[in-house]
Amino acid sequence: MAVPQRCRGFALLIVLWALVLIAFVVAQVTTAGRTETRIASNLVANSEALAAADGAIYEAIFHLSDPRPEQRWALDGSEYKLWIGQTRIVLRLEDEADHINPNLASEALLEGLLQAVGSDPNAAGTLTQAITDWVGSAKIRRRIEELLAEYHAAGLDYGPPGAPLESLDELAGVRGMTASLFRALQPHLTLFGPAEPNAATTDPIVAAAIARSGSLASDTAGPSAIADALPLIVIARIHALAEGPGNARVRRTAVIRITTLTPAGYAPLVWGNDEE
């Protein structure tokens, strides 16, 4: 029997719609494949940049450990550029001893730092007492009930732990600390430095704090011949910025204890993508 013209037209319409559907599915699969390929390429590029940044940090440790003074890299904020494969890395090296450690610093040094960033003497003295109460280094230890009462009177539902800071961000919770003051203090603080910062510090605010506190000798005429020898312990902060193919860009920061007292010669204290 002959197929009616209307049925043949309907069958053709079904075929055309099926072809459109197949073309749509193929386009989607192709697009998804290209996206997955692009994502995989980005992951590979970022992994290569990350590995290069970590490798550059190891190279910095090697140069910082060099017993030859003329070959040793300087911990003064200097930048060093190098290539690993197709990745360009910029290293910046800082000495943690250039900053003030609030866990270990004397009250005079903390008060000097607060004044150096703009606090008036009375407010600086009060806040210094609050900081030393928080970290447990106050000369006169007060009862926790008394401290809690002061914090509650200030509208705070917590009190000082009386223990060393685990993060600089904790300082933002100290009674009397404002957000603007904390931002002013943070660049000049470290949790890895010694009790007394380097008297020849490259940080002008820390230098002003030292001068105000009188806690260190004021003679900073320059390094002596003894300084040419590798110190027993150096705490270095190493910033690495790696830029590789495919617009890969990775930032890494490591805080390393470099010492002649152990066979390894160094020990990582912090190593990651974030600042302390």
- pLDDT of 221-268, one tens digit each? 343 333 455 567 889 999 999 999 888 899 999 999 998 777 778 999
Non-local (6+) Cβ contacts of 248 within 8 A are: 42, 45, 46, 48, 49, 87, 242
Give the pLDDT confidence of 99-113 residue by residue, as tens digits: 999 999 999 999 999
Q: What percent of the chain has pLDDT over 70?
A: 86
Please report, for residues 21, 108, 171, the alpha-carbon distance to residue 168 in angstroms, rounded to integers and kept in the order given.
59, 19, 6
User: What mean pLDDT, rounded, does the chain reach?
Assistant: 85
Give the pLDDT confidence of 2-52 residue by residue, as tens digits: 555 556 666 767 777 777 778 777 777 777 666 776 667 778 888 899 999
The CATH number of the domain covering residues in 1-101+190-212+230-276: 3.30.1300.30
Average pLDDT over residues 58-63: 94
Amino acid at 152: H
pTM for the model stands at 0.73
* pLDDT top residue among 41 and 60: 60
Residue 227 has what pLDDT? 43
Residue 220 above 50 pLDDT? no
**Domain at 107-183, CATH homologous superfamily:** EpsJ-like (1.10.40.60)
Domain coordinates in residue numbering, the chain = 1-101+190-212+230-276, 107-183
Strands 233-244 and 87-95: antiparallel
